[in-house]
Structure 1
Amino acid sequence: MDNIDIGLAVSAGLLFMVVIGVRVAFAAALAGLAGLIWIFWAKKGYDASQFVWALTVAVKTAGSVPHSKISSQALSLIPTFILIGYLAYYAGLTKALFEAAKRWVGWLPGGLGVSTVFATAGFAAVSGASVATSAVFARIAIPEMLKIGYDKRFAAGVVACAGTMASLIPPSAILVIYAIIVEQDVGSLLLAGFLPGAFSALVYGALVVVLALSFKNFGPPVRGFTWGERFKSLPGALPIFFVITIIIFFIYNPFGGDAWGTPTEGGALGAFVVFLMALMRGMRWPQFKDALLESAKLSVMIFTIIWGVLIYVRFLGFADLPGVFADWISGLEQSPMLTLILILMAYAVLGMFMDAIGMLLLTLPVVFPAVIALNGGVGVTAADSAFGMSSTGCAIWFGIIVVKMAELCLITPPIGLNCFVVAGVRPDISVQDVFRGASPFFIADALTIAALIAFPGIVLYLPELLLGG
């Protein structure tokens, strides 16, 4: 067998392990190590006396991955973004956001559902973790909706789906991981996520209104708030926008000149500001300890997936699968846009069996070069490209779209993590009910993805305006 055959066989074994329930991190690490041993041993003609040599080289190669890749400074953004979210919860900012949203848009049909979507979008702008966002709003929003007669499945579905926006709205841990894997600028990716994230929130909100108008008593509105009460709710939500402003200035200085610092420094300063807010609002040592522990647990989970999958990615490099796949994709006799849509459909299927981070880490080393090849290759200009954008613009545009596709993993049965989190926080609501409540939002996600494909300017406007890229 040549290297390509070995790569395909090992990849099939990885998919089998994932389907039978092996954690992605461990399945990828095992598959990558086995593949490296296989390739090195094959180079020696499967000589039995050379097996120990192949094993030794493979272990050394795999062993160099965790430190060399995880020590990247850009990845230090992930724990700081996650910490911001947990500290914001203990600072009471989530309740303040939800209360402000309720007073301003609660009068709409399905008003509390719309309020949940917009409050979640605001919280997502300081939290890089979808799971944490869903867990927080399951405690805050669902009781409010149930109290006035919302269907429990719909209430749970709104929270689970709205929580996925933390994957897209900066600061996003998944966008950081995407930037590292495809070697793109983190700041550009984070900026590119703002408008698609806001657009996604508007589509979710519109869907809630349509459902509430279509079904009687589906989502009763909340009325009775005066203009004075509405304006009184705003100061409690302003700290969120203050933290967002800090992060934006550290990515890019809108007033011209050099940025204040790196995105990593912006994330650290944002965490410190939210920490001070939490202290002023009554956070004590037990809450602070919980925030640190929850941040550490989620960070360790993400980093474990990263290093496990990167061992498999190192094996893919030796097998040369990314190059072969890119050549095959670019050689198909069909329109590049149709090929892109088929790739996205494959992501929708994979999302039924993998978590979002694991899926992107496993596929991007193969799929990303193929998409760039479809567009015309590295260094292509917008005028000569298939998708009407430069190779850098294509990398950013595809990143936002594929992260939006990854959001589907968080609400797709059988392993939609957000749905399990909401059901875990609310024992009175089964995970089956959460999945049923989330199902209408697949329509909203499909419309959002279609709009991002049809109108790339939604993604590229901010990066081109502020960074000139």
Structure 2
Amino acid sequence: MANADFIAVAGFVALFAMMALRVPIGVAMGLIGVGGFAAITGMKPALNLLAQSPIRVITDFNLSLIPFFVLMGVFATNSGMSRELFRAGHAWLGFLKGGMALSTIAACGGFAAICGSSVATAATMTKIALPEMRRVGYSNDVSSGVIAAGGTLGILIPPSVVLAVYAYITEQDVGKLFIAGIVPGGLAVLMYMATVRIAYGRSLPPGETFVLREAVASLRDVWAVLILFIAIIGSMYLGIATATEAAAVGSFLTAVIGVARGRLNLASIMDSLIEALRTSVAIYTILIGAVLFGYFLAITQTPQKITAFLVALDFGAYGTLALILAFFLIMGCILDAMAMIILLVPIVFPVITHLGFDPIWFGVIIVMTVELGLITPPVGMNVFVINTIAREVSLVTIFRGVLPFVMTDIVRLILLIVFPAIVLFLPMTMK
């Protein structure tokens, strides 16, 4: 085995050992990246790399959309938009059997359109929807399963922070990726609703009386979300603004709407800024580590060697794709969503391009695969978030409740692989 090959293997072993010891993923990747680079090229080039990479990441204009979208999500949460979405969803869907569960999924989809985070969506809707579903007779497994699954919409429906990170790593157009996520995200909402009726139909509480006046009145509370979504996604689709410009406008409009409606004051704005800063720093730390680790991958030629190995297996394009997705599903048992995208995509992306798959399509496919990791054991980040907020609901109960949605996600994933036009037709019409 060549020296570089040995260092590459040792680096990956050390990386997973550090992760097992709960070393933050960004720190672990950075240490292995610099250490491995130094082992091959010497200490001086490695130190130069360490000095330059953080500046490169922090000053990258394309990455500035991340803190803006994070801030927009925090403003939206603190101004109560999620509660209004749930109320409107219930006003229109509450008359159906299982209407409150359907309302929760609809609210998750709406909140995802202004939040961009799965964990934030799951946490917010747990506080709002779980008590209401219990009140009308939903079991803990159904109510928690609905919220855990609905929370996954946060990383698919644009604006998605995970899709933005994928775009940065693979040098793709983030605007096209956001537009590509719209139809699969809408499909996810509809299929989750169908899952509620099919999997839990007999045990669902009956619907409530439909009151048209209340339903129409509820629309007055969700106009802000519609304006934000249209302003952000519409401006990118029509070519009026870049993703970064749209993110800046979105965060500003969210703050203005919150202040105008009396939901945000100076103190809550400052709290929102601090919260967004903390989240953004955590993301940037991971990205800096990813850049350093990327140099390590490049100098050891790990992606090229993996590409050659997988191609030599001669499984065919879709057989190799299935192997990659299965690998992501397995890694989802030990890694969270952001870690999987940042750590694994640079390794498998050259394989995908070599096989001729569209990188925009693959971005949506891989994010959907990552979604599964958010609701499957043993990590299941959304499941742990719900359990942290609602301690009386056990992890086993939540995992049991979310199982039908896992099956739905697999069916949806297969559907988008067989029919890639579902993902690609909107980006192809962009100006």
Shorter-chain TM band: over 0.9
Q: Which residue is 2:381 aligned to?
A: 417
Q: Which residue is 1:331 aligned to?
A: 312
- Structure-2 separation of matches of 1:302 and 1:284: 27
Correspondence 1:365 to 2:330: no
Q: Which residue is 2:10 aligned to?
A: 9
Q: Which secondary structure does the structure 2 equivalent of 1:440 belong to?
A: helix
Q: Which secondary structure does the structure 1 equivalent of 2:222 belong to?
A: helix
- Structure-1 separation of matches of 2:127 and 2:266: 21
Question: AA paired with 2:211?
Answer: T
Q: Which secondary structure does the structure 2 equivalent of 1:466 belong to?
A: coil
Correspondence 1:447 to 2:428: no
Deviations 1:312-347 (A, max 9, x none): 111101111111212222232222101101110100
Deviates most, 278-287 or 359-368? 278-287
Question: AA paired with 2:413?
Answer: I
Question: AA paired with 2:271?
Answer: D
Correspondence 1:164 to 2:164: no
Q: Which residue is 2:331 aligned to?
A: 350
Percentage of pairs with the same residue = 37
Q: Which residue is 2:98 aligned to?
A: 110
- Structure-1 separation of matches of 2:256 and 2:57: 32
Q: Which residue is 2:208 aligned to?
A: 223
Question: AA paired with 1:453?
Answer: I
Q: Which residue is 2:37 aligned to?
A: 36
Q: Which residue is 2:27 aligned to?
A: 26
* From 402, 416, 424, the counterpart of 1:460: 424
Correspondence 1:308 to 2:293: no
Question: AA paired with 2:359?
Answer: A
Q: Which secondary structure does the structure 2 equivalent of 1:439 belong to?
A: helix
Deviation at 1:17, TM superposition (A): 2.5
Q: Which residue is 1:190 aligned to?
A: 178
- Structure-2 separation of matches of 1:403 and 1:152: 28
Correspondence 1:272 to 2:252: yes
Q: Which residue is 1:379 aligned to?
A: none
Question: AA paired with 2:381?
Answer: L
Deviations 1:72-131 (A, max 9, x none): 112111111122122122322211111111121223332211111111101111111111
Q: Structure 1 pair 290/423, CA: closer, same or farther in 2 (3 Å)? A: farther
Deviation at 1:20, TM superposition (A): 4.1
After TM superposition, which residue ranges in structure 1, 4 or more long, deviate above 6 angstroms?
A: none
Deviates most, 30-39 or 446-455? 30-39
Deviates most, 142-151 or 415-424? 415-424
Deviation at 1:251, TM superposition (A): 0.9
Q: Which secondary structure does the structure 1 equivalent of 2:172 belong to?
A: coil
Whether the 8 Å CA contact 2:94–2:210 is kept in 1: the answer is no
* From 188, 194, 204, the counterpart of 2:192: 204
Whether the 8 Å CA contact 2:57–2:284 is kept in 1: the answer is no
Whether the 8 Å CA contact 1:352–1:416 is kept in 2: the answer is yes
Deviation at 1:428, TM superposition (A): 2.9
- Structure-2 separation of matches of 1:197 and 1:61: 39
Structure label with greater radius of gyration: 1
Q: Return 5+ residue gaps in structure 2 as ranges.
A: none
1:353-432 map, 5 Å: 353-375=334-356, 394-432=358-396
Supply the RMSD in Å over aligned alpha carbons.
1.6
Correspondence 1:84 to 2:76: no
Whether the 8 Å CA contact 1:85–1:133 is kept in 2: the answer is no
Whether the 8 Å CA contact 1:78–1:128 is kept in 2: the answer is no
How does the TM-score come out when normalised to structure 2?
A: 0.95
Q: Structure 1 pair 431/297, CA: closer, same or farther in 2 (3 Å)? A: farther
Q: Answer 1 or 2: which has greater helix percent.
A: 2
Deviates most, 397-406 or 407-416? 407-416
Question: AA paired with 1:243?
Answer: L
Question: AA paired with 2:139?
Answer: D
How does the TM-score come out when normalised to structure 1?
A: 0.88
Q: Which secondary structure does the structure 2 equivalent of 1:353 belong to?
A: coil
- Structure-2 separation of matches of 1:293 and 1:357: 21
Aligned length: 429
Question: AA paired with 1:451?
Answer: L
- Structure-2 separation of matches of 1:24 and 1:88: 28
Question: AA paired with 1:33?
Answer: V
